Amino acid sequence: MTDVLNPPAATLDAAQPAWGKYDQAAAPPHRSALFVPASNAAMLATAWVYGADLYMFDLEDAVALREKDSARLLAINALTSYPWRDMAVAVRVNGIDTPFFADDLQAVVRAGADMVRLPMTDSAELVHRLDAELTAIERACSRPVGSTKVIAAIESAAGVVNASAIALASPRVVAIALAGFDYLLDMGAEPTQDGSELFYARCAVLHAARAAGVWCYDVVWGDVDDEAGFRAEVELVKHLGFDGKTLVNPRQIPWLHEAYSPTAAELARAERVVRAAEAARDRGLGVIAVDGKMVDGPIVQAARRAIAYAAASGVREDR
- Per the domain annotation, does 149 fall within a domain? yes
Confidence band for 319, pLDDT divided at 50, 70 and 90: low
User: What mean pLDDT is predicted for residues 138-165?
Assistant: 97
pLDDT greater than 60 at residue 1: no
Q: Are residues 209 and 304 in the same domain?
A: no
| Weakest-pLDDT range from 21-25, 243-247, 292-296 | 21-25
Q: What pLDDT shows up at residue 85?
A: 87
- Per the domain annotation, does 98 fall within a domain? yes
Quote the Cα angle for 75-80-83, to 5°: 100
- Per the domain annotation, does 125 fall within a domain? yes
Q: What pLDDT shows up at residue 204?
A: 98
- Which one of 216, 244, 260 terminates a domain? 260
Q: Are residues 159 and 256 in the same domain?
A: yes
Q: Are residues 296 and 235 in the same domain?
A: no
Q: What pLDDT shows up at residue 26?
A: 57
Q: Are residues 265 and 126 in the same domain?
A: no
Confidence band for 10, pLDDT divided at 50, 70 and 90: very low
- Per the domain annotation, does 143 fall within a domain? yes
Cite the DSSP H helix spans in the chain: 41-46, 68-79, 101-110, 124-140, 157-161, 163-167, 180-187, 199-212, 227-240, 252-260, 264-283, 297-313
User: What mean pLDDT is predicted for residues 118-132?
Assistant: 98
The CATH number given to whatever domain includes residue 130 is 3.20.20.60
Q: Are residues 13 and 38 in the same domain?
A: no
Q: Are residues 86 and 187 in the same domain?
A: yes
- Per the domain annotation, does 23 fall within a domain? no
Q: What pLDDT shows up at residue 317?
A: 83
pLDDT greater than 60 at residue 13: no
Identify which has the larger pLDDT, 10 or 199: 199
- Which one of 222, 241, 260 terminates a domain? 260
- Per the domain annotation, does 112 fall within a domain? yes
Q: Are residues 206 and 288 in the same domain?
A: no
Model pLDDT for residues 40-96, shown as the tens digit of each residue: 999 999 999 999 999 999 999 999 999 999 999 999 999 999 999 889 999 999 999
Structural domain span for residue 276: 1-17+261-319
Q: Are residues 75 and 199 in the same domain?
A: yes
User: What mean pLDDT is predicted for residues 231-236?
Assistant: 96
User: How many percent of the chain have pLDDT more than 70?
Assistant: 91
- The Cα–Cα gap between 170 and 46 comes to 33
Counting the structural domains of the chain, the total is 2
Model pLDDT for residues 280-298, shown as the tens digit of each residue: 888 887 778 898 888 888 8
Q: Are residues 217 and 282 in the same domain?
A: no
- Per the domain annotation, does 271 fall within a domain? yes
- Which one of 210, 235, 260 terminates a domain? 260
Q: Are residues 297 and 286 in the same domain?
A: yes
Q: Is the pTM higher than 0.85? A: yes
CB 280 within 8 A of CB 227: no
User: What mean pLDDT is predicted for residues 243-254?
Assistant: 96
- The Cα–Cα gap between 63 and 70 comes to 10
- Per the domain annotation, does 27 fall within a domain? no
